[in-house]
Structure 1
Amino acid sequence: MSVQQLFPPGGQSRALHGLYLNNGLHRLAPENEIFIYANYIASLDGRIATLSDDGHEFVVPASIANPRDWRLYQELAAQSDIMLTSARYFRQQAKGCSQDLLSLGREENSTDLIMWRQQQGLQPQPDVLVISASLDIPPEQLRCLNDRQVLIATCTASDGARRAFFERQGYPVLLAGDVRVDGALLRRKLCERGYRSAYMVAGPEVHHTLLAAGALDALFLTTHLGLLGGEAFHTITYGALLQSTQLQLESLYLDQQPDSSQLFARYAIRYAAAGPEMLALNVVE
């Protein structure tokens, strides 16, 4: 299984397995810092999620989800100390509307990633951080993650009784903002706990929270070369960023298959100088 390197130019075909592991994302952060990266798969017209058949939830369209992209998703997870997600993910899990995005190496063709982490001195599974202003998180879903540390990030305006409940259940609660979760403060809290690499696997609200605060370092984007159309959909972010956020292409690969094609891109994120208005961030549910 191979892909064609398009950028940097002059590249040859590369094996799919190991393509993203070679990035060494867990070793990029300077001392006392953290490298935070996000990943999405989107159609050519920018859809990352569309309404499910029952019209109640937004889900990744089956027409663009595929095992080759999933392998690279897991290679990115393998390089993380901690995975960042939202309360909405666990609510969808409770309804059976979301696949397991947080467990690494469960399929037979990805067990090598557990061994790779051990060779790198990493624990078998990344820790998990749940970002939520509402604290509307089904506790039974958190208990499924008993093989790693689970933390919760919220704001001081959140329900104190709910915060105390989760603390008693063994889930440390990080206060990262007053009435909203502040992406810059969240990043600082992760650094204080010694994390060096974080993989954001949540939806556009969390993505916006990190981007608006200048807290995200890199974006991995798979573009499935098909059009979905439709009027009800999610894209990779929404809401005002209040400044131009520039992406610098670092790598690009073409995955040409008989029945479909897709592009695997890695972008570095470049921010302009942030003003005080940059602190007006989304509430993450």
Structure 2
Amino acid sequence: MATTLLQLYPQVQETPLRGLYLAHRLHELGLPGLPFVYGDFVTSLDGRIALRDAASGESRLPEELTSDSDLRLLLELHAQADCLVTHGGYVRAIAQKRLDDILQVGTVPGHQDLASWRQAHGLPPQPAICIASASLDFTLPDSIGRYQQQVFIATGSQTDAARRRQLEREGREVVIAGAGAYVEGRPLVDALAQKGFRSAFLLAGPRMLETMLRDGVLSRLYVTVTHRLLGGESFHSMIDGPQLQAAGRLKLATLYLDSASSNGTGQFFAQFEPLHRIGVQA
């Protein structure tokens, strides 16, 4: 993992990597009734964030996109959240051991300091977890119970009512946050606000990013751009849906260069502020 990065914008200077995103103090930026909602993606130069297996249809994060530096910064974002917003696909991938379980702060070797950081800044030991799902077909990881995390399930009003009732009988809280089958950005953020959350980290995919942007409730977007081309005929990009129009307008806030990445290539770490969001005049 790199120890320093070169900041390229808004000014040029060297800066330590560890603590870079913790210094943003995202947990303090939410307002009453309007949580600070932020997301993070890693992408190749040709826009791939995940590749789909032709046989199984399952998506995977290519190893070529991963690096120790990106993981550290991801976990720093994770550590500042009152609530993690993830999705049923990630929970299923944990159960199938296709993806690592990072639903808890301070459990990844080499990054245990983040648990102490949360404690020092007055945050609960672990964030709450919101699982957004249309299928409602998943099993909760054992780690959630082991760390006694608050968990609730967000879904649309047109999902399987019998399955929703079954989850409630099992003691799970189910929140309706969308008029169709899928969760929508504004109703979900309203639900987060009603629960008193001030910061929410999107540990989710393109659909969640899209609805948050369209509804004007995404506060900040972090993007890691790995300096390589992936190719692949079946893939996901950050946005899979129709054109975003004005909702897709972003303003670059910071840009850093990591030239000593563990993945063998360089990478950029960028931070963007959406121009089309609630309470902000573009």
The alignment's TM-score, normalised by the length of structure 2, stands at: 0.90
Code of the residue aligned with 2:276 in structure 1: it is Y
CA offset digits 1:87-131 (Å, max 9, x no partner):
111222222211213122113311110000001111121111011
Residue in structure 2 matched with residue 170 of structure 1 by the alignment: 171
User: What does 1:113-124 align with in structure 2 at a 5 Å threshold?
Assistant: 113-124=114-125
Residue in structure 1 matched with residue 258 of structure 2 by the alignment: 255
Aligned partners of 2:56 and 2:260: how far apart in 1?
31
CA offset digits 1:216-264 (Å, max 9, x no partner):
1111000000111121111111112453221111111000117310000
Secondary structure at the counterpart of residue 109 of structure 1: coil
Q: Which moved more, 1:110-119 or 1:129-138?
A: 129-138
Structure 1 residue 160: Cα displacement: 2.2
Flag structure 1 segments of 5+ consecutive residues without an equivalent: 274-285
Code of the residue aligned with 1:239 in structure 2: it is G
User: What does 1:227-266 align with in structure 2 at a 5 Å threshold?
Assistant: 227-244=229-246, 245-257=248-260, 259-266=264-271
Aligned partners of 2:66 and 2:231: how far apart in 1?
16
The answer to whether the 8 A contact 2:257-2:268 is kept is: yes
Secondary structure at the counterpart of residue 85 of structure 2: strand
CA offset digits 1:24-57 (Å, max 9, x no partner):
1111112332000010111111110113596542
The answer to whether the 8 A contact 2:153-2:174 is kept is: yes
CA offset digits 1:180-215 (Å, max 9, x no partner):
422111111110110000000111112112122122
Change (3 A) 1:165 1:238: same
Aligned partners of 1:53 and 1:243: how far apart in 2?
31
Aligned partners of 2:101 and 2:269: how far apart in 1?
22
Q: Which moved more, 1:76-85 or 1:129-138?
A: 129-138
Code of the residue aligned with 1:145 in structure 2: it is I
Residue in structure 2 matched with residue 144 of structure 1 by the alignment: 143
The answer to whether the 8 A contact 1:212-1:241 is kept is: no
Q: Which moved more, 1:76-85 or 1:97-106?
A: 97-106
Aligned partners of 1:48 and 1:242: how far apart in 2?
18
Code of the residue aligned with 1:253 in structure 2: it is Y
Matched, 1:12 2:17: no
Secondary structure at the counterpart of residue 113 of structure 1: helix
The answer to whether the 8 A contact 2:153-2:172 is kept is: yes
Secondary structure at the counterpart of residue 36 of structure 1: strand
Aligned partners of 1:51 and 1:240: how far apart in 2?
20
Residue in structure 1 matched with residue 186 of structure 2 by the alignment: 184
The alignment's TM-score, normalised by the length of structure 1, stands at: 0.89
Secondary structure at the counterpart of residue 231 of structure 1: coil
Code of the residue aligned with 1:120 in structure 2: it is H
Structure 1 residue 154: Cα displacement: 0.9
Aligned partners of 2:54 and 2:127: how far apart in 1?
32
Q: Which moved more, 1:250-259 or 1:45-54?
A: 45-54
The answer to whether the 8 A contact 2:94-2:141 is kept is: no
Flag structure 2 segments of 5+ consecutive residues without an equivalent: none
Aligned partners of 1:126 and 1:109: how far apart in 2?
20
Aligned partners of 2:175 and 2:54: how far apart in 1?
36
Q: Which of 263, 268, 271 lines up with 2:273 in the alignment?
A: 268
Matched, 1:51 2:56: no
Aligned partners of 2:53 and 2:68: how far apart in 1?
20
Change (3 A) 1:187 1:241: farther
User: What does 1:219-234 align with in structure 2 at a 5 Å threshold?
Assistant: 219-234=221-236
Change (3 A) 1:52 1:228: same
Residue in structure 2 matched with residue 277 of structure 1 by the alignment: none
Residue in structure 2 matched with residue 216 of structure 1 by the alignment: 218
Aligned partners of 1:103 and 1:213: how far apart in 2?
28
The answer to whether the 8 A contact 1:211-1:241 is kept is: no
Matched, 1:100 2:101: yes
